[in-house]
Amino acid sequence: MNELYPDDDVLLALTADEQSGVQFIETGTAPYYLEFRKLLYRLLANLAPIGLRVFQTGDLTAEVKPGRCQVAGGLVSYAGGDSLALTDNDTNYVWLDDGGDVQVGIDGDGWPATEHIKLASIAVADGTYTPDDVTDLRGYALLGSLTSILTATPAELNKLDGASADVTAANLNELTGGGATTLHSHANGNLRNDITDPGNGGSINADGDDGRCVIGTGGAETRSLTAPSGLVGELLLICADVLSGNCVITAAAALNDTGNNTITLANTGDMVLLVSRGSAWSVVSSFGATLSTV
């Protein structure tokens, strides 16, 4: 079925597209070729950030247009110009690796296991191919379901500050290959859930829920930190509101690889974000808070 256009009178009334900046050429404009070049110039300016388009240069060769993107969290830039030799009578995969280099392989070997951006697949047969045989895959880097995006290996999850080898072996492997019975599902997933400040000498207890504990003091005070409920991935934000003295919070186990087990909040706005590794907490990030060992 053909894609429909708006009615003619609607099209003729258009003057410019606000988002792209493309201006529609008015009827009777002269010289028309100049206005047409302006339109193309503005269109190409909008397309330029996409880049990295794979195109045919010969029967068994291809190249990739220049472009920039993020791979493995780092900005990479590709200048173009590399000729890619394609394998005959096979489907060729073209991708950009985390070093900013374009690579080519065949479907029998699959896509690389390392971080990369899929650019295209090219079906080559009988010594040649056509532009129609090039399948543009750049959209894969822009669109994806949560299932495909929110995946991680145990090794990746093990990068959390304080997570150790036994955590990965005990629980995190289930996230990639098994049941989720011992993993936190984040049913609440809301750090705005209030966890009561127990006051001086009391114990902060998340009790199995993601949430935040807002601390206030009337002088120099202490708190203890109850161990998590055993669910891996439980989140706890501890933040300082109005402090009249330092608040020293002591955990039963180390909060990071250094062995620190104590958090000190000294100023309003100091905070620390913790994640459960099952039987103990690990520091994910902190602002203003001081970590120490007692």
Instruction: Please report, in tens digits, the pLDDT of each residue of the chain (294 residues total).
Output: 688 989 999 999 999 988 889 999 999 999 999 999 999 999 988 887 789 999 999 999 999 999 988 887 788 999 999 999 999 999 999 999 999 999 999 999 999 999 999 999 999 999 999 999 999 999 887 776 655 555 555 555 444 444 444 444 445 444 444 444 444 444 445 676 889 999 999 999 987 778 899 999 999 999 999 998 878 888 999 999 989 999 999 998 999 988 999 999 999 999 999 999 888 999 999 999 999 998
Does residue 104 belong to any structural domain of this protein?
yes
CA angle, 115 then 118 then 119, to 5°: 140
Does residue 150 belong to any structural domain of this protein?
no
Same domain? 107 vs 197: no
Does residue 148 belong to any structural domain of this protein?
no
Find, among 99, 93, 104, the residue nearest to 114 by Cα: 99
Same domain? 201 vs 286: yes
Find, among 212, 220, 209, the residue nearest to 265 by Cα: 220
* DSSP secondary structure letter of residue 120: E
What pLDDT is attached to residue 237?
Answer: 92
The answer to whether residues 69 and 117 touch, using CB atoms and an 8 Å cutoff, is: yes
Domain of residue 21 covers: 8-47
Same domain? 208 vs 269: yes
- Sheet of strand 281-287: strand arrangement: 211-217, 235-243, 271-276, 281-287
A 10 A CB-CB count for 143 gives 8
Same domain? 182 vs 284: yes
Does residue 137 belong to any structural domain of this protein?
yes
Give how many domains the chain has, as a whole number. Answer: 3
Same domain? 38 vs 66: no
Same domain? 274 vs 174: yes
Same domain? 269 vs 172: yes
Same domain? 66 vs 106: yes
**CA 115 – CA 101 distance, rounded (Å):** 12
Does residue 251 belong to any structural domain of this protein?
yes
Does residue 2 belong to any structural domain of this protein?
no
Does residue 67 belong to any structural domain of this protein?
yes
**CA 115 – CA 248 distance, rounded (Å):** 41
Same domain? 106 vs 188: no
Using CA atoms, how far residue 175 sits from 73, 186, 226, 281, in Å, is 22, 13, 25, 19
**Alpha carbon of residue 264 to chain centroid:** 31
Does residue 26 belong to any structural domain of this protein?
yes
Same domain? 26 vs 60: no
pTM (2 d.p.): 0.50
Same domain? 99 vs 211: no
What pLDDT is attached to residue 112?
Answer: 93
Q: Which helix (H) or strand (E) holds 116?
A: strand 116-124
What pLDDT is attached to residue 55?
Answer: 95
**CA 57 – CA 54 distance, rounded (Å):** 10
Q: Which residues contact 208 (CB under 8 A, 6 or more apart)?
A: 228, 229, 231, 234
The answer to whether residues 70 and 30 touch, using CB atoms and an 8 Å cutoff, is: no
Same domain? 127 vs 19: no
